[in-house]
Amino acid sequence: MAEEKKKIYLIDGHSYAYRAFHAIRQLTDSSGLALNAVYGFTRMLLKFLKEEKPEYIAVAFDSPGETFRHEMYDRYKANRAEQPEEMRHQIPLIKEIVDAFNIVAFELQGYEADDLLATLAKKAAARGVETIIVTGDKDMLQLVSDGVKVLNPHRDNFMYDAQAVRERYGVGPEKMHELLAMAGDPIDNVPGVPGIGPKTAAQLLQEYGSLEGIYEHVDKISGPKRRQNLIENKDMAFLSRDLVAINSDVPIEVDIDACKVRKYDVDRLIDLFTRMEFRTLINEVAEAQEDRGADYSIITTEAELDSLMERIRRAGRFTLDFETTSQDPMKAKMVGISISVEPESASYIPVGHSAAAFAALENPAPEGELFPHRPSEQLRLDLVMKKLKSLAEDETIKKNGQNIKYEMVIFARNGIDLKGIEFDTMVASYLLNPSKLSHGLDQLALEFLNYRKIPLEKLIGKGNAQRSLDSVSVKEVSAYSCEDADVTLRLQGVLDPLLKEKGLYDLFKKVEIPLIRVLAKMELSGVCVDVDIFRALSARLAEQLQQLELEIYQLAGCEFNINSTQQLAKILFETLKLPAGKRTKTGYSTDVAILEKLAVDHECPRKVLDYRVLSKLKSTYIDTLPNLVNPQTGRIHTSFNQTVTATGRLSSSDPNLQNIPIRSGMGQEIRRAFIPCAEGNVIMSADYSQIELRILAHLSQDEELVRAFKEGIDIHDQTSSKIFQVPVDQVTGEMRRRAKIANYGILYGISAAKLAADIGIKLDEARDFIEMYFRVFPQVKRYVDSIIEEARRAGFVTTILNRRRYIPDINSQNFGVRRFAERTAVNTPIQGSAADLIKLAMIEIDRHVSALGLRAEMTLQVHDELVFDVPADEVDRLRETVKQIMETAYPMSVPIVADVRTGRNWLEAH
């Protein structure tokens, strides 16, 4: 038997590092030092070592400074942006990590990583060693040969051999350098030939064989412009070929045997991870190369189900995960349920697979029998739910899940009230770092367990080829679902101590976990709308939009596509000769800020703004909301998102009911369509009054602000009186308008330039205005300064309930980046505390409504407002309860005021 050929993996270190840098946007240590690239690189390397199990490996890095290509062309890479400041210090740290993994790294002054990788590949091939180059750089495809392949981590580890290169680019690897030469590369400032892209270059190479062949037959090339570009840029074409050609003869010493994978320097890695505060990696490095077996089973008999129920009772807790046909819990049909009672063990109960998906299932042969047991049918959903009901509703049996609100809603649809929620891994991850883009289970498994889960796409596919989960075999879904429950349970063991370590456990247990139940009930309740009102609004808006179109065409002098930003820009800046603003990749910008500026002096952009507002209202709400009414309930069921905003506020989606405008006439008409769900009910709205300014007064303890709120003085009149130095009864409407903008602007760290634009004064006047504001409210200034200083020191800011938000750019050397971070630091404790306050109120209101046995339902939460659907005979009782709870949810040094109103619809109640 022939000996298996040796294989070496060569990693493009800079490509890996930059991919990690852009994949994880914000990650810093407690001092604010950016470590996102280091962390991401380490995660990717661990994953690579685990999945590929290489025998030989090496990493190559670019050297700092110019290379031999700069001697050939001094403009080489001239277009490339300077290395991000947050990245510069991370490359040396990444090299330390590589060294601690005992992986050989190559770097040589004057050469790029590409050249080192090419040289390593050539020398490996000479030794008969197969080479896999790991990079997302298409330049490296020219190295592909019988003994060299390229693995692209940016394309789900797609492996390029010679055939794959030809299929993708139309030429073989041996011609890639000429294709790249003609197409050019704006990032590296490789000039290429204007007008020649990769497809055209491939066609020319297919026809004429080489760059020399193309120029020998240049007179025969079709297209006068293309031919002219080739002739005029001949020198650049050949220069570009020299620039993109990779040097495989770099003067480095290579010992392939030295690249053999060795055990990590675990002690050194732990030291590095401790210094960088990568706590979750410390316990993982020793086991990252080993597969972990798990005990997963499929439940198909009632006896097996009873046995599982008994295990849950003995354990006193379980982790569960539902598999369904939809992400919308109000529409989802059950496919199966996974339950995990202990780590690395889980059971799957199929209940809704298709007959074909279930028929393929075979259980192992029972002891003493020759043939495997094939179950006749899966357990009925109603039977499984009946068995689960007593456990689910037993508050003493603790439950854990990932976004367990989803399971709670589906349980409720099946007549089960899920109680005893102890942990939610998605919510826990969110509290630990609310700025993360995703808190999905796949990401959490990688981040905290260094474990790569089975991707859902592997089961159901993607895009048009995607199939429903109930059609996937029970065996495949079982492996996926059991892993979900198992990983969720294991994550609880990691995240629970982290919450305690960060001082977030009380917030988690007393606010976020109880809130899950409140939000699930609100989603189940839904809201009712008058579809006839929406139909009438749609017809009216269609007429208004048609009229606006005609007016815009008349002002423009011709018809055009108003929704096309390019056509609109041409009309505004070429036809009407209006002053152009900022330029984007596709032309001049026509965003709202530009149009508002132009609208001051010209009616056409003013009409376009009106058109956009009405068009968005029509498409987003008026025409869409009636179609979202659930046919079973007759209501619209939005999803309330607990883990999205960085401040702690809730958001809503599918549909988003928080962004319906209230100030515009049409926005008010939309709210008029939201009506009670039962005859004799009314809509009640409870809205915090000036809550953010009251929180600012509480946090800053500014004497003037505190006094104004305690004495019930209108805060905007008070501010006007102090700044403009007039008695309160002489404050004009314009003075109050300016003071109001300043009051709220301070919360967002408003700049003098922005204030000047917002209230229509000169820049110097705006600076004086802000200076005067801080003289009037000196403790506000001290508070703002102290928050920024605290953010610089700790790297994060907190709310009244100790909710954290990390501010990674607070110490940035870039002024614009740092100023934005400072504004975020000032605003977050205020917005986040408002979120804390309304969440506390929601939890307490829900408890009271349940305890009193009221039929009223909390249906919406919109920023600082709660909306209820209330039987008329409960209005007085609920109004007092809601008002009292909202105003006393948390002890504050200034009065908190909640305005409670009722009406026949949401508009009347607001």
In a domain, 208, yes or no: no
pLDDT tens digits, residue range 538-557?
999 999 999 999 999 999 99
Residue 76 has pLDDT above 70, yes or no: no
Judgement on whether residues 23 and 145 belong to the same structural domain of the protein: yes
pLDDT tens, position by position, 433-450 = 999 888 999 989 988 887
Would you say residue 83 lies in a domain? yes
The pLDDT confidence band at residue 308, using thresholds 50, 70 and 90, is: very high
Q: Which residues of 853-884 are buried (b: 16+ CB within 10 A; e: fewer)?
A: ebebbbbbbbbbbbbbbbbeebbeebbebbee
Average pLDDT over residues 203-232: 89
pLDDT at 2: 42
Q: What are phi and psi of 11, to 5 degrees?
A: -100, 130
- 896 in a structural domain: no
Answer yes or no: do 21 and 155 share one domain: yes
Write down the pLDDT at residue 425.
98
Q: Which of 447, 440, 438, 449 is nearest to 487 (CA)?
A: 449
Closest CA to 430 of 422, 440, 421, 420: 440
Strands (E) in 20-138, as ranges, are 56-60, 104-106, 130-134
Range among 134-138, 717-721, 825-829 with highest mean pLDDT value: 825-829
d(CA 778, CA 799): 21
Whether 304 and 160 share a structural domain: no
Handedness of CA 37, 38, 43, 45 (dihedral sign): positive
Cα distances (angstroms) measured from residue 603 to each of 470, 551, 615, 910? 56, 10, 18, 33
Distance CA 757, CA 837 (A): 32
pLDDT attached to residue 72: 66
The crossing angle, in degrees rounded to 10, of helices 875-887 and 815-852 is 140
Rounded mean pLDDT of 809-837? 93
Sign of CA dihedral 557, 560, 564, 567: negative
Whether 841 and 650 have beta carbons less than 8 Å apart is answered as no
Using alpha carbons, list the distances in angstroms from residue 779 to 361, 823, 886. 70, 17, 27
pLDDT band at 290 (very low <50, low <70, confident <90, very high): very low
Nearest alpha carbon to residue 865 among 828, 902, 899: 899
pLDDT at 858 over 60: yes
Give the mean pLDDT of the chain: 89
Q: What is the pLDDT of residue 288?
A: 47
Coil, helix or strand for 583? strand
Looking at residue 457, its amino acid is E
Residue 813 has pLDDT above 90, yes or no: no
Structural domain range at position 394: 295-502
- Residue 573 neighbours by CB distance under 10 Å: 18
- Does any domain span residue 437? yes
Work out the percent of the chain whose per-residue pLDDT is above 90. Answer: 58
> With 90 as the cut, is the pLDDT of residue 410 above it?
yes
Report, in angstroms and rounded to the nearest whole number, the Rg of the chain calculated over CA atoms: 32
Rounded CA separation 591/664 (Å)? 20
Give residue 764's identity as a one-letter amino acid code: D
Kindly report, residue by residue over 37-65, the tens digit of the pLDDT. 999 999 889 888 888 888 899 999 988 76
Task: Determine the Cα–Cα distance for residues 32 and 18; give it in Å rounded to an integer.
Answer: 20
**Residues 472-486 as b or e (16 or more Cβ within 10 Å = b):** bbbebbbbbbbbbbb
Domain boundary among 458, 484, 502: 502
Q: Whole-angstrom Cα distance, residue 791 to residue 86?
A: 18
Q: Is 128 exposed, middle or buried (0-12, 13-18, 19+ CB in 10 A)?
A: exposed
Cis status of the peptide bond prior to 655, with omega within 30 of 0: yes
pLDDT above 50 (res 496):
yes
CA distance to 60, 107, 444, per residue, from 52 (Å)? 18, 24, 21
Alpha carbon 193 to chain centroid, angstroms: 39
CA distances, 815 to each of 42, 809, 818 (Å): 30, 10, 5
pLDDT at residue 265, as a whole number: 82
| Residue at which a domain ends, from 502, 522, 540 | 502
Q: Which of 172, 155, 162 is nearest to 15 (CA)?
A: 155
Which among 424, 890, 404, 861 is positioned nearest to 651, based on CA atoms?
Answer: 861
352, 369 contact by CB (below 8 A)? no
**Dist CA 143 CA 210 (whole Å):** 17
- The DSSP secondary-structure symbol of 149 reads E
Q: Is the pLDDT reported for residue 756 higher than 90?
A: no
Give the pLDDT confidence score for residue 313 in this predicted structure: 96
Residue pair 433/36 in contact (Cβ under 8 Å)? The answer is: no
Distance CA 271, CA 763 (A): 52
- Give the pairing type, strands 56-60 and 7-12: parallel
Neighbours of 896 (CB within 10 A): 21
Does 252 lie in the same domain as 317? no
Q: Which H helix or E strand runs over 865?
A: strand 865-871
Residues 354 and 254 in one domain: no
Which pLDDT value is given to residue 639?
Answer: 97
**Residue 127 or residue 543, greater confidence:** 543
**Residues 254, 316 share a domain:** no
Which residue's structure tokens are 């998102």? 641
Q: What is the pLDDT of residues 705-755, one digit of tens each?
A: 999 999 998 888 888 888 888 888 888 988 888 888 888 887 777 888 888
pLDDT value at residue 766: 84
pLDDT, tens only, 374-406: 566 899 999 999 999 999 999 999 999 999 999
Report the chain's terminal Cα–Cα distance, integer Å.
82
Residue 327: other Cβ atoms inside 10 A = 10
Label residue 53 exposed, middle or buried (CB < 10 Å: 0-12, 13-18, 19+).
Answer: exposed
d(CA 287, CA 488): 19
Q: Is residue 325 part of a domain?
A: yes
Angle at 69 between CA 63 and CA 72, to 5 degrees: 155
Q: Give yes or no for residue 289 having a pLDDT over 50.
A: no
Share of the chain above pLDDT 70, in %: 94
**pLDDT computed for residue 462 by the predictor:** 83
CA–CA gap between residue 302 and residue 321 (Å, rounded) = 20
252 and 381, same domain (yes or no): no
pLDDT at 1: 36
**pLDDT, average across residues 810-824:** 89
Q: Per mean pLDDT, which range of 75-84, 201-210, 276-285, 541-550 is the poorest?
A: 75-84
Helices (H) and strands (E) counted in the chain, each on its own, are 39, 24
For residue 105, the model assigns a pLDDT of 92
* CATH code for the domain in which residue 311 is found: 3.30.420.10
Q: What is the pLDDT of residues 859-899, one digit of tens each?
A: 999 999 999 999 999 999 999 999 999 999 999 999 999 99
For residue 199, is pLDDT > 50? yes
Q: Are residues 255 and 386 both part of a single domain? A: no
**Distance between CA 187 and CA 78 in Å, rounded?**
8
Please give the C-alpha separations between residue 351 and each of 131, 291, 335, 338, 778, in angstroms, as whole numbers. Answer: 48, 30, 5, 11, 65
Q: Please check whether residue 262 is in contact with residue 100, taking contact to mean a CB–CB distance below 8 angstroms.
A: no
Q: Cα dist. 552→561, 572, 587, 599 in Å? A: 11, 11, 21, 13
Report d(CA 54, CA 10) in Å as an integer. Answer: 10
Helix (H) or strand (E) holding 801: none
Tens digits of residue pLDDT in 162-181? 999 999 999 999 999 999 99
Instruction: Please check whether residue 442 lies inside any domain of the structure.
Output: yes
Number of domains, the chain: 2
Mark whether 253 and 318 lie in a shared domain.
Answer: no
Q: How far apart (Å, rounded) are the C-alpha atoms in residues 544 and 67? A: 63
Bridge partners of 104, per DSSP, are 58
d(CA 903, CA 910): 8
Q: Which helix (H) or strand (E) holds 683?
A: strand 681-688
Q: What is the pLDDT of residue 331?
A: 95
Give dist(CA 210, CA 179) in Å, integer: 9
Give the range among 81-90, 178-187, 356-365, 387-396 with minimum mean pLDDT: 356-365
Task: Report which of 412, 623, 436, 652 is spatially closest to residue 537, judged by C-alpha positions.
Answer: 623
Any idea what the Cα angle at residue 369 is, between residues 366 and 373, rounded to 5°? Answer: 50
Helices 234-244 and 176-183: angle between axes, nearest 10 degrees = 130
- Residue 810 near residue 32 (C-beta atoms within 8 A): yes
Query: Given the DSSP bridges, would you call strands 295-298 and 130-134 parallel, antiparallel or unpaired?
Result: unpaired
* Per-residue pLDDT, 35: 92
| Same structural domain, 329 and 450 | yes
Q: Name 275's Cβ contacts closer than 8 Å, sequence gap at least 6.
A: none
Tell me whether residue 855 is in a domain: no
Please, which residues have CB within 8 angstroms of residue 676's CB and are 6 or more apart in sequence?
528, 682, 683, 869, 870, 904, 905
Evaluate whether residue 689 is within a structural domain. Answer: no
Q: Which of 259, 281, 305 is the last residue of a domain?
A: 259
Tokens 């089975």 label which residue?
A: 454
Residues 325 and 251 in one domain: no
Is 867 in a helix, a strand, or coil? strand
**What is the domain-level CATH number for residue 90?**
3.40.50.1010
Distance between CA 206 and CA 194 in Å, rounded? 19
β-pair partners for 185: 190
* E strands, 25-123, in order: 56-60, 104-106
Q: Are residues 311 and 162 in the same domain?
A: no
Average pLDDT over residues 212-224: 88
pLDDT digit string (tens) for 646-701?
999 999 999 999 988 877 788 899 999 999 999 999 999 999 999 999 999 999 99
Q: What's the length of the chain?
A: 910
